Structure 1
């Protein structure tokens, strides 16, 4: 967790006043995403935190996702009437209260039982889309019941074609408005720190189990709802002898084809007639291929720094991607969003929206649905305030002229 004093040397004398993040239970006192993160760390076992927080290998990509935003500084306008400000956006033809999407994340039942339902309900309350993962723990039909939800389905391809075809059929029947195909997870990233919490692929280590007991509320919830969650949308595709939590996850990983190609994209595009989003693109040539494949949107993403280490961040390639795409498709940036100002920087560099993954999950770990609502509220309020300070009343006024590269260190 970042040192809260890292940027505040000029505001302190001899280390005073001492500063720390809030870790109590009053969500209104969580004034930044880092407070929710601190609350999550206090309440959550280490093995769950390693899954949530960790990246691949040296975690250089994970770090780059955050530092890429620090490479840009605002150039605000003054004496502009900003008494009326709005973040209202249109995402894939649907209205949204902000240019933000709750990103697809798997295993949310580890954080809270019913985690996917909580995320979806909070997203609906906030008026932004929610993308449900193939590796989610709540049935898509149950998630779809959230009133006012803009429900998208994220697809991992595994096993035979009949599996993704059935998942698409169910997603369509459940009213999902868009399909998000993840392209960069066919080989599982080398997430060393998460692996160190296990004695084998399917068993936590004894120290991990002992540390988990230091979190009685988490343990009580886990015991009440069955210890570890099930992958309820895909478990029926897995052999009966491999349906426990860890075994199911590894069976699916082992059956994701490394032959995934643009031919696969074409087959899925032909089978899905609603908006189609390709997630995981970083190379300019792949942006061009995605346009040729007829996608409606592209998500620039390193998979949260959890796949190939030492890659660029989505924000790094955003300006070039926008130049290639023009107005032919929407572009989203995923990874590292912790501030409302991150959202505005992405918009200024050409994004139509950002996908927030870990930020709402910190809220989920901290206080369930209410914590997610608080996370989305914080991002929205920060962005609205920053818009006013920038001299912008609407997202259409957030352009490249409001940014300058940070001075070299």
Structure 2
């Protein structure tokens, strides 16, 4: 991977190596993808102040998130079906994150189960929870995360119903799944390295669900059950219920409005993630970076504010921190690496972003993450 210089390089390799259905699942957004594009475009509009003749010989990229030291201001975000991008993908991504000294977040909709990942990594990881209509199953998931010693619970709060992603429907990622279309089979067979890895993996179903529900142990039945579990009645009282079960650190992911951020403070959660679900839910919503400053100003002194939405470079990380984020979640950026080269590809993605951040800090005249603030942003 010595000739790979940026996340886009990894994206292009991922696109060649992974079947179209799974590449599109990660790469695309909902409806016309206006919000998906805005996340990237608005980050790129933010320009830096270049500073000179500052001693930048002691640059340090480490910070703390929820009291724990991290080597980078990065967190691997929960991404559903990661294990379909690369065999045992969740395990490989978690190992790469832990080697880099940053948190990894396992999705409820992972291919490898909580127990699979816990048995194959060295340290605790974060677990992301979708609140389903079957509260008994949700409680059991939380208890399994506790048993696996997960160090934080990330509660996704912006998925009461699913925004339509056109490419997924066309590719057969529907309910019930129609992945065995002729065009998909031909595509799968044309990717022998990917296919071999998937077939050797621990699971090809949603590991946290299959086998844990009576009669829901094949992909079609699990997908149908999940589709029936979107809960339109989900509200703030459910956060209180989860808080009563989960004894550890709680993070609310999907906050995109100042009023909701203030309500999040009252739940007792330790952190929130400013996020529009990567442009995969409400199309036409503003970019995450455009709403970050107001949310950080409103609640940043009372809970940690994390950021998610469009990060593709170390420069983007710097922009988000300058606008008020404590640390940043990345999803697509590390998945591109995973699809391109497994665990080594994720490590490469993290190394690229870290080096870009270090250089950007130096050219802006700052040595530490806690020195990054509005002063690094050019006016106008």
2:254 aligned counterpart, secondary structure:
strand
Q: Post-superposition shift, 1:220?
A: 2.7
Q: 1:381 aligns with which of 355, 358, 361?
A: 355
Q: Post-superposition shift, 1:247?
A: 3.7
TM-score (norm 1): 0.89
Partner of 2:192: 216
Q: Post-superposition shift, 1:248?
A: 1.4
More deviation, 213-222/33-42:
213-222
Residue 68 to residue 139, structure 1, CA distance change in 2 (3 Å): same
Q: 1:110 aligns with which of 67, 77, 84?
A: 84
Q: 2:289 aligns with which of 290, 296, 315?
A: 315
User: RMSD value over aligned CA atoms?
Assistant: 1.7
Q: Deviations over 1:159-182 (max 9, x none)?
A: 322111111111112111111000
Q: Deviations over 1:93-113 (max 9, x none)?
A: 111001110001110111111
Partner of 1:131: 105
Residue 178 to residue 361, structure 1, CA distance change in 2 (3 Å): same
- The separation in 1 between residues aligned to 2:277 and 2:54, in whole angstroms, is 39
Is 1:231 aligned to residue 206 of structure 2?
yes
Q: Post-superposition shift, 1:397?
A: 1.1
Q: Summarize the alignment of residues 68-217 of structure 1 with structure 2, pairs less than 5 Å apart.
A: 68-145=42-119, 148-198=122-172, 201=175, 202-204=177-179, 205-217=181-193
- The separation in 2 between residues aligned to 1:150 and 1:77, in whole angstroms, is 40
Q: Deviations over 1:306-342 (max 9, x none)?
A: 1111111221111100111132100111121100010
Residue 167 to residue 200, structure 1, CA distance change in 2 (3 Å): closer
- The separation in 2 between residues aligned to 1:120 and 1:221, in whole angstroms, is 17
2:128 aligned counterpart, secondary structure:
strand
- The separation in 2 between residues aligned to 1:314 and 1:199, in whole angstroms, is 26
Residue 386 to residue 110, structure 1, CA distance change in 2 (3 Å): same
Residue 246 to residue 46, structure 1, CA distance change in 2 (3 Å): farther
Q: Post-superposition shift, 1:239?
A: 4.2
Q: Post-superposition shift, 1:139?
A: 2.2
Q: Post-superposition shift, 1:199?
A: 9.0
Q: Post-superposition shift, 1:351?
A: 0.2
Residue 199 to residue 375, structure 1, CA distance change in 2 (3 Å): closer
Q: Post-superposition shift, 1:386?
A: 0.9
Q: Could you tell me whether the CA contact under 8 Å between 2:88 and 2:201 is conserved in 1?
A: no
- The separation in 2 between residues aligned to 1:276 and 1:219, in whole angstroms, is 37
Structure 1 unmatched ranges of 5 or more = 1-26
1:404 aligned counterpart, secondary structure:
coil
Q: Could you tell me whether the CA contact under 8 Å between 2:314 and 2:360 is conserved in 1?
A: yes
Q: Could you tell me whether the CA contact under 8 Å between 1:120 and 1:146 is conserved in 2?
A: no
Q: Deviations over 1:3-57 (max 9, x none)?
A: xxxxxxxxxxxxxxxxxxxxxxxx1211111111111111111111111111101
1:29 aligned counterpart, secondary structure:
coil
